Structure 1
Amino acid sequence: MKTYVWSVDKFVDNLKSYPQITQAAKFLKDNEVIAFPTETVYGLGGNAENSEAVAKIFAAKGRPSDNPLIIHIAEISQLEEFVSDVPQVAAVLMEKFWPGPLTIVLNKKEGQLSELATAGLPTVAVRMPDHPLALALIKASGLPIAAPSANQSGKPSPTLARHVHDDLNGKIAGIVDGGPTGVGLESTVIDCTNEIPVILRPGGITKEQLEAVIGEVAVDPALKNSETAPKAPGMKYTHYAPNAPLFLVSGSQTFLQKLVSEAQGEGLKVGVLTTKEAQDDYQADIVLACGQREKLESVAASLYETLRAFNEAEVGIIFSEIFPENGVGGAIMNRLTKAAGNRVITE
């Protein structure tokens, strides 16, 4: 399959009618799949109403089809097509955080969406992305768009079009290249179908931000207990992993450096994931700064690109510092823990 690449300036006027967007939207209407930028990561979109299109998403990613997908919309009115009710708490969150990196789980109308898109669940996860190209593409297609991250399943999510091309060239119809994404981590997922809303996946909107708007918010036990089956899109299987084994290190810089030296003594090419503040403090084959520790948003924005950079460097093992879990740090550690397969070395 030929994979078209359309470079589009997100600041162009009337994006919905822009030729490249029109062509990409036609592919979606024809039940092909297209990668496009959002403010979080690049998504791999297909017609959420058509099982043939949704099946192509799973096939391109190599992702098991028993995992629900997030449905992307461009206008609130689209909810009427496939959502049975919008609780007041959900309406408040939409007013405050949409468009933006917040996915809301609601009860669905039967018979409107592909059962593949919702994994046969009675609920549907929906968000409105805060990116002009994503919104223009959805509007031009006139469809609800099912879209997980546009990467090979299990690998770091893409924050650049070239990441998508590296993983999916020849497997999808096209890529809308809108430059780098912003937040860098997937959206927060919150279930609003119960009396107390529950965070199913941490992301760009923090628990503190949510509670400032709607009061008490619970956290899915599956985020801390690997034996509990998670309910959120993209959380059932191992994700975000670089090619080399990744170990999180809970301890001092001296302890981490000791681990590096021991691995080098075994003949391994060693990578260290740190921040700009400590980049010069380690002696390893590859030391990569992932943002600034004092600005965790910068760590989130750089995380997946940094993990992919270790692949390009062909390291044999990676040691990573850990980060405080306050604010967006919770989402960072969630992704790093999954990327490491829960491997933590404690001093």
Structure 2
Amino acid sequence: MTITNVWHVQQAADDQLREELKEAAGSLKEGGLVAFPTETVYGLGADARSTAAVEKIFTAKGRPSDNPLIVHIADRTQLDELVLPYPQLAKALMDRFWPGPLTIVLPVRASALSPLVTAGLATVGIRMPDHRTALALLREAGCPVAAPSANRSGRPSPTTARHVLEDLEGRIDGIVDDGATGVGLESTVIELIGEHAIRILRPGGVTREALQQAAPRASIDSASAAELEAVPRSPGMKYTHYAPQGELELVQGEPEAVTAYIHRQTRAARQRGELTGVLAFEERLAGYEADCLLSLGSEDGLEEAAHLLYAALRDFDAAGVQRIWAECCSEQGIGAALMNRMAKAAGDRIVRL
């Protein structure tokens, strides 16, 4: 079993931050696995050029090898070494959203990265995280870093270093602990169809509306589930992800009907002796009866729900909850990404009333 170091950098002064990150970056340079915070979730990083290092990601996570990885960079000059010429539209989106939670799928240069990173595809997803510590670590490491979420495959993504330890302690070399992440959901992944079309492969922190505002002349659509199942050009789409240990069911409909349905289900489950959980918006949370009631915040502020989701799913696990019911939300703005992750966590068990 590997000894997992923890480098505490939250509230660290610049000198201390540099020293801690030198150690963490040294581990990456030597082919190690280092978890680190981004503005979205904690990522599990390895040198993207080294097949031996990237193999360790799949082993630690128990991740299928046909699932591509996102590469993180700290400077756009690194792109010249990694990818072939790309549309002007990509440059415009980088200008608007990098650093930030947007991954752009670009044509990869031959032999620039380990083939495990691309899952054998001719493209690679690249992003520049909007996080001081992540960028400092990437600069210190001096290499492109492949980094999926730092959790066991299928589990809720980690938004704190404690979550990473729960899943990966003894499996990785270290964790850079800089407190809780901000957005709470993974990056948006897009591919470009020429100069005037954007396809969303995975909704995330950059909304469809923000993309349209940044590229008003571009048409925007979303890849179908069938397309992504056949050839997963984006991580997080082919397999059940983000799932709690208890069975999760989403309930969609008018608030009164949703509340009544969840009441019936939790009562029946408790009579069977099952531990129950409800994940609901603050406006209705107090009206439910369950062994574990957790809030998604106000339904008028879905950014908070995105921030709270993965931690809530892990809290249900900690409480030993066996059956969970969750309210759905609008799919406008960040709600599209939130519902995408909730549906994945529920294995697409959605009751529509």
TM over 0.5, shorter chain: yes
Q: Distance in 2 between matches of 1:85 and 1:227?
A: 28
Partner amino acid, structure 1, of 2:244: P
Runs of 5+ unmatched residues, structure 2: none
CA contact (8 A) 1:222 1:230 kept: no
- Across the aligned residues of Structure 1 and Structure 2, the Cα RMSD in angstroms comes to 1.6
How far residue 284 of structure 1 moved from its aligned partner, in angstroms, is: 1.0
Corresponding position of 1:231: 233
Q: For the Cα contact (< 8 Å) 2:86–2:106, is it kept in 1?
A: yes
Q: CA deviation at 1:218?
A: 2.8
SS, match of residue 39 in structure 2:
coil
Retained in 1: the 8 A contact 2:69–2:125?
Answer: yes
Residue pairs, 1:52-71, within 5 angstroms: 52-71=52-71
Q: Is the 8 A contact 1:48 1:71 kept in 2?
A: yes
Q: Helix, strand or coil: the match of 2:115?
A: coil
Q: TM-score, normalised by structure 2?
A: 0.95
> Is the contact between residue 199 and residue 217 of structure 1 (CA under 8 Å) also seen in structure 2?
no
* Residue 278 (structure 1) shift: 1.6
Q: How many residues of Structure 1 are paired with residues of Structure 2 in the alignment?
A: 346
Is the counterpart of residue 273 in structure 1 residue 279 in structure 2? yes
Closer, same or farther: CA 227–65 of 1 in aligned 2, 3 Å? closer
Gap runs ≥5 in structure 1? none
Go from structure 1 to structure 2 and tell me whether the alpha carbon gap of 1:47 and 1:226 turns closer, same or farther (over 3 Å shift).
closer
Q: Whole-Å Cα distance in 2 between the matches of residues 225 and 78 of structure 1?
A: 30
The amino acid of 1:44's aligned partner reads: L
Q: Structure 1 44/202 Cα, relative in aligned 2: closer, same or farther at 3 Å?
A: same
Shift of 1:70: 0.3
Output one character per residue of 1:103-124: Cα deviation in whole Å (capped at 9) or x when no partner: 0111111011101111111001
Instruction: Give 3-state SS (helix, strand or coil) of 1:129's partner.
Output: coil
Change in Cα spacing, 1:227 to 1:3, as seen in structure 2 (3 Å) is: closer
Q: Describe the SS at the equivalent of 1:179.
A: coil
1:78-102 per-residue CA deviation (whole Å, 9 max, x = no partner) reads: 0011111131100000000100000
Structure 1 outlier segments of 4+, above 6 Å: none
Which residue identity is paired with 1:89?
A: L
Residue 300 (structure 2) aligns with: 294
TM-score by length of 1: 0.96
Q: Is the 8 A contact 2:66 2:119 kept in 1?
A: yes
Q: CA 1:18–1:221 in structure 2 vs 1: closer, same or farther (change >3 Å)?
A: closer
Q: Residue type of the partner of 2:135? A: L
Alignment of 1:129-144 (within 5 A): 129-144=129-144
Q: Return the offset for 1:10.
A: 5.7
Q: CA deviation at 1:230?
A: 3.7
Distance 1:332 1:281 in 2: 23
Change in Cα spacing, 1:58 to 1:92, as seen in structure 2 (3 Å) is: same
- Aligned 8 A contact 1:105 1:191 in 2: yes
- Is 2:199–2:223's contact at 8 Å kept on the other side of the alignment? no
Given the alignment, which residue of 241, 244, 247 partners 1:242? Answer: 244
Q: How does 1:132-281 map to 2 (within 5 A)?
A: 132-195=132-195, 196-215=197-216, 216-223=218-225, 229-251=231-253, 252=257, 253-281=259-287
Cα distance change on mapping 1:230 and 1:112 into 2, 3 Å: closer
What do the CA deviations read for 1:110-165 (whole angstroms, capped 9, x no partner)?
Answer: 01110111111100100000001100000000000000000000000000000000
